[in-house]
Structure 1
Amino acid sequence: MEGIGNYKLEVKISQDKLEAGIMLVITDQEQGTNIQINESEVREILRKSKITHGILEQVVHDLCTNPSKFTAGPVTVAVGSPSVAGTDGKIEYTFMKLNQDDKRPKELEDGRVDFYSITSIPNVAKGQLLARRTPATPGQAGKSVTGEPIVPLPGKEAVLKPGKNVVVNAERSMLYAAIDGQVSFTDKDKVNVFPVFEVNGDVDFSIGNIDFVGTVVIRGNVPTGFRVKASGDIRVLGSVEGADLEAGGSIEIKSGIVAQDKGQVVAGNDVRTSFIQNGNVTAGNQVLVSQSIMFSQVRAGKQIICNGPKGIIIGGTLQAGEKIVARVIGNTSATPTVLEVGVKPELRLELAAINKELQTVYENLRKTDQGLGVLGQMLKVTGDLAPDKKAMQIKLANTRLILEKEGKQLEARKKEVETELEGESPAAVDVYYMMYPGIKMVFGKLVRFIKQEFPRTRFLVINGEITTSTLI
């Protein structure tokens, strides 16, 4: 506050320094109506308060010509320039991504519908641009009313994730196909280009087991006992019985799985089918079923969705990292069914192992630095080292480089795992029509047995308890 004659001018700066207010305080009430304020006086007070940016000239003028307006409370006299956050980087895919929901059977010239001709494969040519990375922007710095710069929040960089048979440019901003083939997304959204192997009918003894570094399309059925393995995707236009299917990408089975508790279906990304009966299915991402899951073992890294026109889950054990969704779960006979959601034990175990390894690495680094320090002191005192000491110094220096590299790799992987765990959405079980008694529900260490009917209900954990809410 600055006193001038029969009044004082009080200046207040906001905590974020983006706004300053000025207030007139009258010290001599008898002469309060005769106040005269010069502009130079106001500017001197602002200068002493270090206000140099964003001064509102009209307010300064009003203060000098009509001081009474400023006695009721502070009036904004300066406004800073807020920083503008940077925009996040993004990845633009330049090829046609296959949308499974848009596929339609092919209509023939005579009006008939060919339900087998529905698999559309997004082929690309060698050298074709597949993805383009737009870098994040750093944002625009702001300035406080005191003239200090306000550092903006920079955007988060997007990262191209090259897989097999693709190349990136030196700036890692462009991704190209290295061969002719089909684009396939595998673990952690890596982009790959795989060649395609097609079977124009059933997998039988004339074909035998399939183990292919690429994508496999089977335009018939896969009977019990056969094995199909692919680095890319597997698409079966017929049904799968008790066979073994394993794909690095996704698996689509048009006519469903009838496994009779034999074989297994394992995908690094998604599994999509019409129904699963007595099957064993594992997906790194989602299991998407349009009709029913009956007496099966089903695991998904993120979600199990069975929410089609029927959308029934009865019997078996279902495990999902984030969510299980169905129209109906269980039946009036209270068939035992187990639903487990909300944990990623493999990630948590990996994080614990990484922390243990890092502790060992840092302890070895400390001992190595201690040894190098002793040898350094000896060299400083004697001016030279004996041959065995020199050899030890070289060995310790090499060991330190190896430990540093190992530590950086472990820290990078630790950050990835922590990001994945932080990105977990709250686990839930959604039933859009009815859940019947006989269900065992597990959320991590919490267990709830369903002993009554629950229509249109969401189950989730709040404050350490499995609670319910009504789905609209």
Structure 2
Amino acid sequence: MEAIGNYRFEVKLSADKLEAVIILRAEEEDLDNILIRESDVYEELRKHRVTFGILDNVVQDLCTLPRKFVHAQVTVARGLPPVPGTDGSVEYPYLDSVREESGPKELEDGRVDFYNLTTIPNVVKGQLLARKIPAGQGQPGKSVTGEPIIPKAGRDVIIKPGKNVVQNQERTMIYAAIDGQVSFTDQDKLNVFPVFEVNGDVDFGVGNIDFVGTVVIRGNVLNGFRVKASGDIRVLGSVEGAELIAGGSIEIKSGIVAQDKGSIVAGHDVRTSFIQNANVTAGNQVIVSQSIMFSTVRAGKQILCKGAKGIIIGGVLQAGEKIAARVFGNTSATPTVLEVGVKPELRQELVQIQKELQQVYENLRKTDQGLSVMNQILQTSGELPPDKKMLQIKLTNTRLVLEKECKTLEARKKDVETELKGEGPAAIEAYHVMYPGIKMTFGKLVHFIKHEYARTRFVVLDGEISTATLI
């Protein structure tokens, strides 16, 4: 701070150096005699290393109307903020219609075309399935002192090949290795599976099915039967109290009436028209066009029941990100439990991976110690006895196995941490009405609905469950 004539300047920089302010200090009796030259202002700025983004009009005003600026904090320079990089992404040239589905499509006559919603495209060997779009690096900024500001790079995306697909050398594209149908399995791995079709019901004439691929059933799945597929399961009829297990998605055109028997488990999505007295689990989303009644439904990300009749009554529903429906509950206040915002299976897996990694690290340390002893013997005597030689070979092979195991665990740990970091704010959305009788849980926060809410979104804000009106 230096005095210049009968006034002085103060120059302050913001913490990020993207803004500089100037304050004119002068006594009241000196205001009429103040004469400020622009060169004096620029010189004062230079003393504070402010050389970029200077607002010339502010400098001119300061010199013309100094009384206006006395003891006032005025922005005199603005830097250029950095532009953060865009996050990486994956394009699916032939799968966009599958990946971008958010609900059933409505036909011109008002009916819901649920069958076409769940179509899985056939692909041929060599067909491009996925293309990685790299993360952007952003554009650097510049501080008022002229220094470059490094932008935050976009978050990279991991492209995940599964079964019967190949990648290019750069690992930026995935191609089909066989003819078949595309299936996304756990952790969004992309696969191509062959197809097994049943032209009627799964009954005593067909028996249980266990197929390494995608299963298409053109009838119903009856009580007590089991269908297992490493890819997707598509049922054009209904499912009763049966057991369906798919590594990919499960799509049931006519709905599920389980009578509290059997279970539906999908690594990716479950799509159907209604769920009644059933146990349904999906790694990603559960998408229902009509109703979920008195069922236990779990989804890693979202449970959506947003059709024209979309209603959820009774049961327990758990989702990592969101539960949304047109109507929750009924006028009889039927008990219904909604839980969002928790991914316990992922957190448990992360703890287990960390334990396994610690054990692998310890085994690697012991193996390296043994190899170090062998090397010391070799350097001292010039050769190893036969028994020591065999031990060296065994330790070397053990280390190769441990290194491979370590890389696998570290890669999975990174995937799990990325998924947990990607958790957005959890929400419960009622697009028409939510009736009393609902118990909602956001992590450790619990709230009981005691009166009706119309078009309401429930979220956690500042540690409390709050509401907002849906437009």
User: Shorter-normalised TM-score: what interval?
Assistant: 0.7 to 0.9
Q: Which residue of 2 is the match for residue 203 of structure 1? A: 202
Q: Name the TM-score, length of structure 2 as normaliser.
A: 0.76
What is the identity, as a one-letter code, of the residue corresponding to 1:353? Q
What is the identity, as a one-letter code, of the residue corresponding to 1:101? P
* Residue 102 of structure 1 pairs with residue 105 of structure 2: yes
Q: Which residue of 1 is the match for residue 224 of structure 2? A: 225
Q: CA deviation at 1:386?
A: 9.4
Q: CA deviation at 1:191?
A: 1.8
* Residue 244 of structure 1 pairs with residue 279 of structure 2: no
Instruction: Give the secondary-structure state (helix, strand or coil) at the position aligned to 2:239.
Output: coil
Q: 2-side partners of 1:367 and 1:440: how far apart?
A: 52
The 1:300–1:19 alpha-carbon spacing in structure 2 relative to 1, beyond 3 Å, is closer
Q: Which residue of 1 is the match for residue 167 of structure 2? A: 168
Q: Which residue of 2 is the match for residue 286 of structure 1? A: 285
Contact 1:239/1:255, CA 8 A, preserved across alignment: yes
Summarize deviations over 1:135-166 as a string: whole Å, max 9, x none: 12212222223232211111122222222222
What is the identity, as a one-letter code, of the residue corresponding to 1:81? L
Number of equivalent positions: 457
1:134-149 to 2 correspondences below 5 Å = 134-149=133-148
Contact 2:118/2:251, CA 8 A, preserved across alignment: no
Q: 2-side partners of 1:27 and 1:436: how far apart?
A: 67
Summarize deviations over 1:206-242 as a string: whole Å, max 9, x none: 4433322222222222222332222222111111122
Contact 2:240/2:257, CA 8 A, preserved across alignment: yes
Contact 2:105/2:114, CA 8 A, preserved across alignment: no
Q: Which residue of 1 is the match for residue 16 of structure 2? A: 16
Instruction: Give the secondary-structure state (helix, strand or coil) at the position aligned to 1:282.
Output: strand
Contact 1:8/1:27, CA 8 A, preserved across alignment: no
Q: CA deviation at 1:95?
A: 0.8
What is the identity, as a one-letter code, of the residue corresponding to 2:104? D
Q: 2-side partners of 1:31 and 1:324: how far apart?
A: 65
Q: 1-side partners of 2:267 and 2:254: how far apart?
A: 21
The 1:316–1:85 alpha-carbon spacing in structure 2 relative to 1, beyond 3 Å, is closer
* Residue 271 of structure 1 pairs with residue 274 of structure 2: no
Q: 2-side partners of 1:325 and 1:458: how far apart?
A: 9
1:440-459 to 2 correspondences below 5 Å = 444=443, 454-456=452-454
Contact 2:331/2:435, CA 8 A, preserved across alignment: no
Instruction: Give the secondary-structure state (helix, strand or coil) at the position aligned to 1:418.
Output: helix
Stretch of structure 1 that moved more, 333-342 or 27-36: 27-36
Q: CA deviation at 1:248?
A: 1.3
Instruction: Give the secondary-structure state (helix, strand or coil) at the position aligned to 1:193.
Output: strand
Q: Which residue of 2 is the match for residue 108 of structure 1? A: none
Q: CA deviation at 1:3?
A: 4.6
Summarize deviations over 1:276-329 as a string: whole Å, max 9, x none: 233232222222233333343333223333343444444444433344444555
Q: CA deviation at 1:425?
A: 4.0
Q: 1-side partners of 2:327 and 2:5: how far apart?
A: 82
What is the identity, as a one-letter code, of the residue corresponding to 1:160? I
Summarize deviations over 1:73-117 as a string: whole Å, max 9, x none: 566555433322222222222114234623869xxxxxxxx9989
Summarize deviations over 1:404-462 as a string: whole Å, max 9, x none: 7666654543343333334334445555435354x665555566677x55454666666
Contact 2:247/2:266, CA 8 A, preserved across alignment: yes
What is the identity, as a one-letter code, of the residue corresponding to 1:241? E
% identical equivalent positions? 68
Instruction: Give the secondary-structure state (helix, strand or coil) at the position aligned to 1:252.
Output: strand
* Residue 193 of structure 1 pairs with residue 196 of structure 2: no
Summarize deviations over 1:16-66 as a string: whole Å, max 9, x none: 223445566569977984857584x66655544334444566777888x85
Instruction: Give the secondary-structure state (helix, strand or coil) at the position aligned to 2:234.
Output: strand
Summarize deviations over 1:173-214 as a string: whole Å, max 9, x none: 222222222222222222222222333332344443332222
Contact 1:428/1:458, CA 8 A, preserved across alignment: yes
The 1:208–1:85 alpha-carbon spacing in structure 2 relative to 1, beyond 3 Å, is same
Q: 2-side partners of 1:461 and 1:66: how far apart?
A: 52
Instruction: Give the secondary-structure state (helix, strand or coil) at the position aligned to 1:138.
Output: coil
Instruction: Give the secondary-structure state (helix, strand or coil) at the position aligned to 2:293.
Output: strand
Q: 1-side partners of 2:366 and 2:145: how far apart?
A: 50
Q: Which residue of 2 is the match for residue 91 of structure 1? A: 90
Q: Name the TM-score, length of structure 1 as normaliser.
A: 0.76
The 1:330–1:215 alpha-carbon spacing in structure 2 relative to 1, beyond 3 Å, is same
Contact 1:290/1:308, CA 8 A, preserved across alignment: yes
The 1:3–1:448 alpha-carbon spacing in structure 2 relative to 1, beyond 3 Å, is closer
Larger CA Rg, structure 1 vs 2: 1
Q: Which runs of 5+ in 1 are unaligned?
A: 106-113
Instruction: Give the secondary-structure state (helix, strand or coil) at the position aligned to 2:295.
Output: strand
Q: 1-side partners of 2:212 and 2:235: how far apart?
A: 17
